Amino acid sequence: MSFLDNIRDWFNEILEDDGHVVVTVIRNDTLWSICERASGAKTNAEIVKHVDQVVALNPGIDPDRLQIGQQVKLPRSWSA
């Protein structure tokens, strides 16, 4: 199963942009939950690393205040 196949089950809208995947925030999404679902991370330490990666990809994003409809760029592959 590819990365896109894996996240299609979790996110309503997925776009591909310049080698990244862009998801649209829906109600009750947090950056933590998005990173956990999209990356398949199992430990808190892994999720923290992935949140940091997403923040770096999205200048100006406030990880504590995502808005419904906001688009978030995710890496196509996650660093360990």
| pTM for the full predicted model | 0.77
Binned at pLDDT 50, 70 and 90, residue 39 comes out as: confident
Q: Write out the H or E segment, with its range, that includes residue 16.
A: strand 14-17
Going edge to edge, which strands form the sheet with 14-17? 14-17, 20-24, 71-75
What token pair was written down for 79? Answer: 């660093």
User: What span, in angstroms and rounded, lies between the C-alpha atoms of 73 and 16?
Assistant: 9
Q: Quote the Cα angle for 8-32-68, to 5°.
A: 65
**Averaged pLDDT, 22-33:** 90
User: What span, in angstroms and rounded, lies between the C-alpha atoms of 29 and 63?
Assistant: 11
Q: Which residue has the higher pLDDT, 67 or 10?
A: 67
With beta carbons less than 8 A apart as the criterion, state whether 31 and 63 touch.
yes
